[in-house]
Structure 1
């Protein structure tokens, strides 16, 4: 496979995930690293044989076919617009932006663009297998979903003010996953939330524990369970209930070895964080982006999916504020 040059914008937490995946992919070559922090950019570039560059010069290079946007959330939309206007294929971490009005106003510029949004759960092999079996009718007609997304521990308080809050930063993954599995758009949202994990999160105006109920026009239900602290690892589960049975995607453990003796049962813990749990999903996502870049696939999670998830996230916030369901 011919290797196409790409630029990475952002060498932070998500850049550390996507940059190496791009550098190691047989169809991609990481040519530039762009980051306002010179040391971070230089470290990433040096490790993967890339060059440090300014954004304008990277986008002006006709040899750059794609751009990976892993910058801070408030920069996602601006960087995506710049890359699309330069004619590049774009992979952008979620969310597109925290401001729904800005996202909607920009949407026409993305018509026809090769744009993949970072909803990585769609590329998890366990969740993909569940979806295939669901679509094959193994559980009959889908009636309800239960999604569990529990972080192992709360983020540092300094993260909260710029995160967009629990629903736009965290639950948005589950809202996209629900849309992907339900097969129709939710028409009603009800959320209830509390601050039970860290009082500082509440002082900063956010919540850390929530339950959300989605309802579709045909009556399908989806319950989403979120917390910033599980205390036992990165808890990621799906239960899909149908007219003939159920499908479940359980937690993934560090290994499959189980000890059974007179002391009881001992098994390996579940994965401790998102980077380990979704390692295969992130690799699959970048492989899909490579296929999009090479003209062999159409993006499975596009701009419209980002808009739809953001609409639901804002409905969750409104429901918490009013204590009532929000009809869409």
Structure 2
């Protein structure tokens, strides 16, 4: 939310570049890829969602590269466990998202946005702020190991806003269209990986069903 505020208020000027790091502490079993939709649909999709929220614009082009470096068994499902995706937004902001199914040191979640008037970045969360310094090393404890630990406060806030929308009629902060957009980006990423070339999101989009035409996502 602090990164979004810096962009929304113009604190860092016009956005030029962003980079998101999202690496899980350990991979799921290989058979997970059989029904998950693959790394871009089950993992990177959260980063697509965040990138779109932070930049405040729509993605127009996606270019994805991937490799199998951790769990060989996922190759049979056409999935990868290591990925780098480049996004270009309509406002010409460009950025990268890098994902890995395994970061041996813990849950690695970082983000930086660079703009015409400055930059803003967020780092990993740790269980404590202690730093041990000796004649031999300077070290600290590993970052939080699981997303439920890292984002506990976020989940609570999400539930509070959901209840406020139901009970008090407050606006829904994330609409159905906001949920649909990252899926479209993920489909473009998967197609880009197999094609070995950038893919326009409009080329993988599908029109809404007749009954949803004009829907505002509420």
Please report the RMSD computed on the Cα atoms of aligned residues, expressed in angstroms: 1.2
2:66 match = 193
1:264 match = 137
Are 2:174 and 1:301 aligned?
yes
Q: How do 1:89-168 residues align onto structure 2 when only pairs under 5 Å count?
A: 128-168=1-41
2:155 alignment partner, one of 240, 259, 282: 282
**CA–CA distance in 2 between the matches of 1:137 and 1:260?**
39
**Cα distance per residue 1:68-120 (max 9 Å; x no partner):** xxxxxxxxxxxxxxxxxxxxxxxxxxxxxxxxxxxxxxxxxxxxxxxxxxxxx
The 10-residue stretch of structure 1 (260-269 or 186-195) with the greater mean CA deviation from structure 2 = 260-269
Q: Is the 8 A contact 2:144 2:150 kept in 1?
A: yes
**CA–CA distance in 2 between the matches of 1:232 and 1:259?**
17
2:79 alignment partner, one of 206, 218, 225: 206
* Structure 1 residue 150: Cα displacement: 0.4
**CA–CA distance in 2 between the matches of 1:255 and 1:145?**
28
Q: TM-score if structure 2 supplies the norm length?
A: 0.88
Are 2:183 and 1:310 aligned?
yes
**Cα distance per residue 1:120-164 (max 9 Å; x no partner):** xxxxxxxx1121122222222111110011011111123221111
1:223 alignment partner, one of 96, 101, 125: 96
State the number of aligned residues: 201
Q: Secondary structure at the match of 1:294?
A: helix
1:241 match = 114
Give the unaligned 5+ runs of structure 1.
1-127
**CA–CA distance in 1 between the matches of 2:101 and 2:51?**
19
Q: Of the two structures, which has the highest relative contact order with CA contacts closer than 8 Å and spacing of 6 or more?
A: 2
**CA–CA distance in 1 between the matches of 2:143 and 2:169?**
35
* Structure 1 residue 198: Cα displacement: 0.8
Q: Is the 8 A contact 2:4 2:55 kept in 1?
A: no
* Structure 1 residue 296: Cα displacement: 4.3
1:25 match = none
The 10-residue stretch of structure 1 (198-207 or 242-251) with the greater mean CA deviation from structure 2 = 198-207
**CA–CA distance in 2 between the matches of 1:132 and 1:204?**
40
**CA–CA distance in 2 between the matches of 1:135 and 1:272?**
31
1:254 match = 127
Q: TM-score if structure 1 supplies the norm length?
A: 0.59
**CA–CA distance in 1 between the matches of 2:174 and 2:132?**
41
**CA–CA distance in 2 between the matches of 1:218 and 1:135?**
14
1:87 match = none
**CA–CA distance in 2 between the matches of 1:259 and 1:297?**
47
